[in-house]
Amino acid sequence: MKMLNQVKITFAGRSVNEGFARAALAAFLVQLDPTVPQLADMKTAVSEAVTNCIVHAYPDKIGPITMTAAIYEGGIVRITITDRGIGIPDIAKAMEPMFTTGDAEERAGLGFAVMQSFMDKVKVSSTPGRGTRVTLTKRLDARA
């Protein structure tokens, strides 16, 4: 699969930067002329991934979050969100709907489920104490 274009940005794990990540992704993807629903799906998935970093990866500090977006032949978009936070000890458990390590009063535990519902593929890798990488993949269908 041949890469056609790529962008990589690193920003502080602050709540205000979740919107920045969504906007930066949208600006990069404009070159594919995505439909509004396609763009909304990817922005929502990125929002969930970045929010997970802010809330869970860095619970007691502000750390770096890196977003890489790449466009491949055939309209395939791959977005990777990486942090250097506390990591996830049990990925399978963390991906279960309704599971949260945060305050159950404030968190629904649906972040990964939301990502999976909007993207074709979601891959999570993590090492406790070293961080997490979430890779989101979506094929944009050509417009008729």
**What pLDDT was estimated at residue 42?**
94
pLDDT mean across residues, the chain? 87
77: β partners = 71, 138
Orientation angle between helical segments 36-52 and 16-29, nearest 10 degrees: 140
**Whether the predicted pLDDT of 120 surpasses 50:** yes
Looking at residue 99, what is its pLDDT? 55
Contact 136, 78 (CB under 8 A): yes
**pLDDT of amino acid 144:** 38
Catalytic site positions = 48, 52, 107
Strands (E), 18-73: 64-72
Query: pLDDT tens for residues 42-72?
Result: 999 999 899 988 988 898 899 999 999 999 9
- pTM for the structure as a whole: 0.86
